[in-house]
A and B are shown apart, each in its own frame.
Chain A
């Protein structure tokens, strides 16, 4: 395959499967389809499956946040009880001591992971924060994939002015240092909210960091996709479809899209992982989720601010974040191996 500009040499995109339409008489003797094959390979990869299960477990726990908060810990995520007392190992201690240092993990139903600097229950905030972080990560990734697919397909197929405009727009976003863009947008939009006439989003809504993260990653997916589409549009089956009188839209959807599908699938876990990490980074810099809503990033930031005391405030959300992202990464790696064991796809920075 020709090396397209913007994609480093040595990177092979999983386009090895071409959805060549089968003639009717061939269908009943067709072998196992490429996706079934991939699924089989994935099933054999125990490690990837285990980490995928870990990720699902964490998601499940976070979804159970209201139950934990209501029935086990008896405290909401944004409610602080700094003057409450807890009995730990024979001693009665205040949740927040006179110097403002919070109590560490009690391993009991209340303040299981200890308290934060406002006397809030870390375990409850961990689960609610997980909901926010995961929601932002998944929705942002969906946004990225959707936008990038449209942009990549349209730019790569139609070329010309459309391609020129879209590619320049991608270049601008891609060249803008990602963290700076995220922080600038996050700070600005948090102060004013988003008012697009049709709908308004308040500055403290989760939609703001979601939209920002979603947009920041679009070029990283759109550029390789565009490159792939540039190659695909010259193939015989596209010519054949054109000869058959298919319109552009139909060609895009029925011929081109299935061929880039495996690339897209491979990108999904990569983008989700990076989205969750970027949300944490933005929240650490104060430009992500707005207080008092919890997210893993804001919790780590609060914890770092408390150092050198209360290391549990930093460790607990941090380790949770690492386990989640690790789960996605290893599973995503397994998916990539399954679709094309020889492919190497990564996010170009």
Chain B
């Protein structure tokens, strides 16, 4: 017979455990969260996936040597060690990186993580033609040779499986076009998230390889949906800056109509609206009034601008370029984006170090266009009446931006005609030197990583190439080149020390009106009432940080 004290103790134990269970909301359903996406990931396989819809799940399934801090705002852009023990040791000339793998790491399938998995992962991403592989081929010694089939491994990476040591040699600055001070950011790409050696060298969208992260894929149907569950092996590896996550299961579904997505989240039938999708303007009033406590608009690191070809008429004239910026009708562009646009004039978005604090040189960012001043400047330049071809994409809202821009150009005294083409060939068309009349048109840039050098590719004279050019304005300014020469080599960890110089450069670019920036993207943070909204982290690089979500 159980003595009374022990009996009471037992009852107390039972009571607290019952109460504890209900406090967790512990029914089978509550551990599952449904997320709706309007567009499927290009592929969930980290060796191929490049879109935000792929990055969002991949960064918590595949951890790289380095990763980003799980925080909001500027803190979220900070690099922290992932599978590496600490941040890399960089040689004095900035060309040799040394890291050591943490001991005792395993993948979600139990296989141990080895140092040699790192070069294998990069080789696989290159074999699979990952859209950002140029970051590897231009920066790492021997990567380009591997990519073109001349070598069977990347000669610039040496690893020791016994000690876990990894040494990476970078291409010397004279040859490299790409920012090598920002190389640590390259190590944090989900495509550099380690996968086991021996994973097949083909894109596996339906059965992505195992990774070493807080979550893992449990079932995938490409283009229809997938499920993420917590990786039971992760918590024991005690990686300090990568949280294990709270939600047990994520159920992701592709629905394809933003209107349906929004209605379902509003009525709490689904839990999250993909931040990369647009909420239909007609539903916004309803959402703001009914769900104001679970809805927010966040500016992201993506700029929208009109490029102007500085090598041909009329935009080779600074006066005409200034006129264009004076005449930008930013309030209308914001309306055409249903309010998901922050009016702006500087090339670097606010989350990026180097975003100027100064006032806009040619009219306030949130003001109405100054057409009188613009017309006067065009007259002064003597180039009024010049025919101009305006390029744009033919899908909303980019189509509307191009239409409004063409209207503005006509209003300030130029003769604009539009050429709207399909998104699939847009950038390859305007980036091809053989395409005639690429004078001005729409362009945008979403950060690959939170470093200003990523954006400055677009105004760097050295990146001008005959095909796949991204410097559409053909900007070739010795002042910019000199500044980039000193700023590119600065290592990512020391970025804040050169913030003032980057700000100065960005202000200079705005004053020369090389790009007609009209805004930064705003994304919706929209949840059902099941999610604890204050605890949600909106990550500056990956948008939804799913490891931070908790249920109420």
Contact = CB atoms under 8 A, between A and B. Distances in A.
Q: Do chains A and B touch in the complex (CB under 8 A)?
A: yes
Interface of A: 78-80, 82-83, 96-101, 117-119, 187, 190-191, 203-204, 286, 290-292, 302, 305-310
B335 A306 contact: no
A187 B404 contact: no
B403 interface: yes
Q: What interface size band does chain B fall in?
A: 20 to 34
Contacts of A310: 282
A309 B280 CA distance: 8
Contacts of A101: 281-282, 338
B281 A79 contact: no
B332 A83 contact: yes
Contact of A191 (B285, B368, B421): B421
B407 A80 contact: yes
A310 B338 CA distance: 13
Contacts of B368: 83
B404 A98 contact: no
A220 B112 CA distance: 66
Contacts of A308: 259, 280, 282-283
Given A78-B403, A99-B338, 14 more contacts: A80-B332, A82-B332, A97-B335, A98-B335, A99-B282, A99-B285, A118-B404, A204-B419, A286-B395, A290-B394, A292-B418, A308-B259, A308-B283, A309-B282
14 contacts: A79-B407, A80-B332, A96-B332, A99-B284, A118-B336, A187-B422, A191-B422, A203-B421, A204-B420, A286-B394, A302-B396, A306-B282, A308-B283, A309-B282
Interface in B379-408: 394-396, 399-400, 403-404, 407
A100 B418 contact: no
A246 B420 CA distance: 55
A291 B281 contact: no
Contacts of A99: 281-282, 284-285, 335, 338-339
A308 to B, nearest CB: 6
B421 A117 contact: no
A292 B403 contact: yes
B336 A117 contact: yes
Interface string B321-336: 0000000010110011
Interface string B410-449: 0000000011111001000000000000000000000000
Could you say which of B259, B337, B338 has the most chain A C-beta atoms within 10 Å of its C-beta? B338
A117 B368 CA distance: 19
A305 B281 CA distance: 11
A83 B421 contact: no
- Ordered nearest first, which 8 A-B pairs have the shortest CB separation? A309-B282, A99-B281, A100-B338, A100-B281, A99-B284, A100-B335, A82-B332, A101-B281
A79 B281 CA distance: 21
A58 to B, nearest CB: 27
Contact of A291 (B280, B284, B335, B420): B420
A101 B335 CA distance: 8
B338 A305 contact: no
B425 A191 contact: yes
A83 B335 CA distance: 9
B259 A307 contact: yes
B399 A291 contact: yes
A327 to B, nearest CB: 31
Nearest to B410: A79
A80 B259 contact: no
B2 to A, nearest CB: 64
